Amino acid sequence: SNHLYNITATIDIQKINEAIEKFKESYGRNPMELSQLVRAGFLDSLPKDLDGKEYIYDSQTGEVKTPTIPWKR
C-alpha cells in the first residue's frame, strides 16, 4: 500500500540521512555515492524501497529521495 511505502521510505531515508551526517563529520563532505556509507561502516547495507529499487541520492545537496512518486505507485 502507499501508506506502508511512505512509512518504510521515511524510516529508510532517515537512516540514510543519519549515516550521511556521520560521513560528513568524519570526511568533511557528502559521500559521492550511497555505497560509500556501507564501505565506511556507517550502514550495514543500503536499504531499498518496497519495490526493491534503490533510493535516489544527490551528492551535491545530500538529498535522498524515493525512486518512485508514492502516489503514482
Tens-digit pLDDT profile for residues 37-58: 999 999 999 999 999 999 999 9
d(CA 39, CA 64): 18
φ and ψ of 48, to 5 deg: -120, 160
Instruction: Specify the pLDDT at position 2.
Output: 85
d(CA 60, CA 32): 8
| Global confidence as pTM | 0.90
pLDDT band at 15 (very low <50, low <70, confident <90, very high): very high
